[in-house]
Amino acid sequence: MKEKILERFLRYIAIETTSDPESNSQPSTSNQLDLSRLLVRELQDMGVKDVTLDEHGYVMATIKSNLPAGTKVPVIGFIAHVDSAPDAPGKVTNPQILKNYDGKDIVINKEKGMIMKVEEFPELPDYKGQTLITTDGTTLLGADDKAGIAEIMTAADYIMSNPTFLHGEIKIGFTPDEEIGRGVDKFDVKRFGAQYAYTLDGGQIGELEYENFNAASAKIYVQGRNIHPGYAKDKMVNAIILATEFNSLLPVEQRPEFTQHYEGFNHIIRFDGTVEEATIQYIIRDLDFEKFEQKKSLIEESITYMNKKYGEGRFRLELKDQYFNMRKQVEPHYHIVEKAVKAMEMAGITPLIKPIRGGTDGARLSFMGLPCPNIFAGGHNFHGRYEYIPLESMVKATEVILNVIKLYSQEK
């Protein structure tokens, strides 16, 4: 199983699938379909009969139950996303494979002086003796979420190759554009046909999440006035300066680099500007809905303040909710969390139940009527050039998928 997962993972990360938040199409980039088409072919080659890829980029597949006729168990699904984050280049051509890792600092890129140091990434020694897959410092790795895809595909391959493995009906789904918050915009829950599902989109081995951030995006347009600097007195309005002042109104302690656990944040993710005009983009996150609303209100109040100070129309705000905390949708079906806990224990894993300091397709799917907690995919340092994943964690994630299926097949 280990070699099959590695082979799949390396094949998938070599395909460029970066999503584009500025695109209005779905999928937002056509190259995501390159991976989706490959997954369709691979599923069909396994012998899975009911496999589709629709015009929006959704792959859906069904593995029929092989339980005795008349046996009724819940239909469950497993979901991962094909796109990679637009935070760094996403076509991985030279991943590093470190077999029998020694537990010490890892040179990511000698020429660039990029070293993954144990003092900065203290979890590294936990993987001593394992096989680590890292970037070469020029791209992200794409374990978010191509590890999840490789794990689901490997589990599907095992099921199709082992007819004595008993299981109920299983649904498989691969989505586009999760990284830009549009992963399930057009996902047809009814057509998917699962009663419960799990996303394979979490971090380190053992992670299990059924809570996530409430999320919103804020895009702020600042209108300045450019005048020749030699004649600018009392006339120039520098949009860069105004945008910087706006950012200073938001609490420093609510930046992500100063928060953890259940603490939310306001995160500036982009700043583009000239004297004439500037644009600032934020993501707003909090697990507590009341605090989430307070963060959004602070943005709105700060816009009002700046317009009052510098003139109406200097600042314009686009504020959009993205997704909400799935906890209240999952808790009434808490047995799906308990199944995942048991499945991990069967694989010799200690479950780490914790809130997601981010979001998954499962958060929105839970509000669309498909309760969908999140299981680890095994990676670390997602969205950046220091991303890595232990191969053994991917193997364990695949075991957990099979154990979940086994547990559901035994329901009476």
Same domain, 55 and 142: yes
Find the range with the poorest average confidence among 83-97, 242-256, 282-296, 297-311.
Answer: 83-97
Q: In what order do the strands lie in the sheet with 207-209?
A: 50-53, 59-63, 170-175, 76-81, 196-202, 374-376, 207-209, 352-353
Same domain, 58 and 179: yes
Give the confidence band of 412 by pLDDT, cuts at 50, 70, 90: low
- CATH code (residue 205): 3.40.630.10
- The rounded distance, in Å, linking the Cα atoms of 256 and 287 is 13
Evaluate if residue 80 carries a pLDDT over 80.
yes
Same domain, 235 and 201: no
Question: pLDDT (tens digit, 9 = 90+) per residue, 377-398?
Answer: 999 999 889 999 999 999 999 9
Q: Which of 271, 290, 322 is the last residue of a domain?
A: 322
Same domain, 205 and 75: yes
Same domain, 223 and 182: no
Residue 174's domain comprises: 2-212+325-409
Instruction: Tell me what the mean pLDDT of segment 264-282 comes to.
Output: 96
For the chain, the average pLDDT equals: 94
The one catalytic residue among 83, 144, 179, 207: 83
Same domain, 240 and 202: no
The one catalytic residue among 178, 209, 211, 387: 178
Same domain, 184 and 331: yes
Instruction: Tell me what the mean pLDDT of segment 23-35 comes to.
Output: 94
Does residue 179 contact residue 84 with C-beta atoms inside 8 Å?
Answer: yes
Question: pLDDT (tens digit, 9 = 90+) per residue, 178-218?
Answer: 998 889 999 999 999 999 999 999 899 999 999 989 999 99
Same domain, 331 and 358: yes
Find the range with the poorest average confidence among 71-75, 190-194, 291-295, 361-365.
Answer: 361-365
Q: What's residue 31's pLDDT?
A: 93
> Is 201 a catalytic site residue?
no
Does residue 216 contact residue 320 with C-beta atoms inside 8 Å?
Answer: yes
Q: Which of 322, 339, 360 is the last residue of a domain?
A: 322
- CATH code (residue 253): 3.30.70.360
Same domain, 196 and 221: no
**DSSP-derived pairing of the beta strands 170-175 and 196-202:** unpaired
Burial 45-62 (b: 16+ CB within 10 A, else e): ebebeebebeebbbbbbb
Give the confidence band of 130 by pLDDT, cuts at 50, 70, 90: very high
Same domain, 347 and 293: no
> Is 169 a catalytic site residue?
no
Evaluate if residue 99 carries a pLDDT over 90.
yes
Q: What are the backbone angles phi and psi of residue 349, rounded to the nearest 5°? A: -110, 135
Same domain, 223 and 207: no
The structural domain count of the chain equals 2
Same domain, 53 and 42: yes
Q: Which of 292, 322, 352 is the last residue of a domain?
A: 322
